[in-house]
Amino acid sequence: MIKKRIAIFSSTTTLVVALLAAPLASSAGAATITKRVIKVEASISSQQKITHTVSPNGRRVYGFNLLVGRDESGSNPIDVETIGNVNYLKGNGPFFGFITFTAEDGSSLGVQMNGKAEVLPNGTDTRVFAPFKVIGGTGKWLHAEGKGTFTGLRTAAVGADVKSKFVIRLKSR
């Protein structure tokens, strides 16, 4: 039994070391940031949503939403994955979370956002806006630093598609 546990520990340790060392093995060219401003437009769709309605008259909604989409407008498609947490009163309020942009070559860029949702006067549409900060990347965005904005329009309740625009401003390297 002890030998079996040691073998499992040894295999697990080897796997962990290999995974941690993988980013160090990237080529020097991978650290080059090729674009300074990246614009992404995508309709992001809810893939998973967990929300709770609380308070008198069910006016407060809080929870989590995973939305994904793809910008295929340019020669280099970019996938978008948004993990958002909301705390809305009558549809208005703060949200925060993370966005991952993945290029066709597998390079990814992660950002952290803090934003606000605002129900428009028609009572149905909601505008969202969030500034964000780059927290890291892989591949061609390995040493990326920068910031940007996320703007979007949702024409139904939380969980509906969001027509989105992202502007990422990377610092030159």
- What's the whole-model pTM score? 0.77
Q: How many Å apart are CA 18 and CA 16, to the nearest integer?
A: 5
The DSSP code sequence of 34-73 is: --SEEEEEEEEEEEEEEEEEESGGG-EEEEEEEEEEEE-S
**pLDDT at residue number 23:** 43
In this predicted structure, what is the pLDDT of residue 93? 96
Q: How far apart are CA 53 and CA 151, in angstroms?
A: 25
Q: Where are the domains of the chain?
A: 29-170
Query: Is beta strand 93-103 parallel, antiparallel or unpaired with respect to 108-119?
Result: antiparallel
d(CA 121, CA 146): 34
Distance CA 17, CA 39 (A): 36
Q: What is the CATH number of domain 29-170?
A: 2.40.350.10
CA atoms within 13 A on the CB side of 119: 13
pLDDT of residue 52: 96
pLDDT at position 5: 42
pLDDT score for 173: 61
In contact, 146 and 168? CB cutoff 8 Å? yes
**101, 76 Cβ separation under 8 angstroms:** no
Successive 10-residue mean pLDDT values, the chain, 173 residues: 44 39 43 73 95 90 96 90 96 97 97 97 94 97 96 84 95 71
